[in-house]
Amino acid sequence: MAQQRTFSIIKPDATRRNLTGAINAKIEASGLRIIAQKRIHMTSEQAGEFYAVHKERPFYGELVEFMTSGPVVVQVLEGDDAVAAYRGVMGATNPADADEGTIRKEFAESIEANSVHGSDSLENAAIEIAHFFNDDEIVG
């Protein structure tokens, strides 16, 4: 399998409940490596742009509000087939549908407050990573 990089966010519901370490333990146990990391408080502009693909959805306004409701941890993950591998570790968007052992099954509060984000394609991973990190902040 090819080495890939993907983009991860630990969302405000998880930082609020002090779950950063527990979530990253699951990520690292899967074999993925955390090669960049910072804690930030997103502005409405940043969150709105990040989820712009959902602009027409009824939950967009609440989603932007949620993503700016507290700090988040943005990260770059590296490993074999990292985009799909991390989506597997995260579990389904709705925790009610997530497999046992996944981050969302164990920690998510709801379909909105679902603890983590992960890129959905290699192309979007590269765009998202470049949006939050300079090259010299990524140390593989």
| Contact set with Mg ion (CB under 5 A) | 120
Alpha-carbon distances of 50 from 53, 115, 140, rounded to whole Å: 8, 16, 24
> Minimum CB separation from ligand ATP for residue 119, in Å?
7
Assign 132 to helix, strand or coil. Answer: helix
Nearer to ligand ATP (CB atom), residue 6 or residue 37: 6
63 binds ligand ATP (CB under 6 A): yes
93 binds ligand ATP (CB under 6 A): yes
Alpha-carbon distances of 114 from 12, 42, 66, 107, 139, rounded to whole Å: 9, 17, 11, 7, 28
Q: Is 117 marked active-site?
A: yes
> Minimum CB separation from Mg ion for residue 139, in Å?
26
Nearer to ligand ATP (CB atom), residue 33 or residue 87: 87
43 binds ligand ATP (CB under 6 A): no
Q: How far apart are CA 6 and CA 32, in angstroms?
A: 10
> Minimum CB separation from ligand ATP for residue 114, in Å?
5
Q: Give the binding site for ligand ATP (CB under 6 A).
A: 54, 59, 63, 93, 111-112, 114, 117-118, 120
Residues belonging to the active site: 117
